[in-house]
Amino acid sequence: MLNPFDFIFTTISLVIAITIHEFSHAWTADRLGDPTPQLQGRLTLNPLAHLDPLGTIMLFLVHFGWGKPVQFDPYNLRNPRRDAAFISIAGPIANIILAVIAAVVVRAIPLIDTTFSIWVGFLQTLVVINVVLAIFNLIPIHPLDGFKIVGGFLSPQQAHDWYQLERYGMIFLLFLLFPLFGPRAPINYILSPILNTILSVLLPRTPLI
């Protein structure tokens, strides 16, 4: 982040990734029959509708933040648990799709015109940010998307037991995010191999995380 271009690229990529992520939640909820996101003005690609001021500031201060959560009413859904899982997974899927598109463009730019090479750095950052956001949100801990995704595909009794863990979600998450027992946070040891594998496919010959 000492490089001004890195700061600009990262900031723009974060805004795009969070906006796409939250919009996809809202769009999916609307398609499944819940008008709540539309009534709350979330069916838009305007970043101001999806960025949480405190969550955005925290991203730059401690490298952990959040967007404004998309609210939906399960009573408007035909199958509340299953549809909640679909709504939850829509955000990570949208980020992965955007990352793949950006990676394809990165490879195509040198074939088109080397004068566009300045965009390579931005697109590489966009790929990394979207992959990180998608994989992080798939962790099955409340309030991350992965928690509802898992709950949506369990039996009713299993789901009931699973949702009892919701109250402990922030404790588990804080444990993963802070380096309590070493120089790196536990989440780094969990996610780095997955992220590096995905990024090595999307961005070969690019420094990994």
What positions carry a catalytic annotation? Answer: 22
From the list 89, 71, 103, the residue with the least C-alpha distance to 21 is: 89
Distance linking the first and last C-alpha atoms of the chain: 14
Contact criterion met (CB below 8 Å) for 205 and 103:
no
Q: Which residues of 115-124 are buried (b: 16+ CB within 10 A; e: fewer)?
A: eeeeebebbb
d(CA 41, CA 101): 27
Class of residue 68 by CB neighbours under 10 A (exposed 0-12, middle 13-18, buried 19+): middle
Give the span between the Cα atoms of 23 and 21, in whole angstroms. 6
Q: Which amino acid is at 185?
A: A
The structure tokens listed for 75 are 């009573």
Residues present in the chain in total = 209
Q: Assess contact for 173 and 147: CB atoms under 8 A.
A: no
Query: Which residue type occupies 105?
Result: V
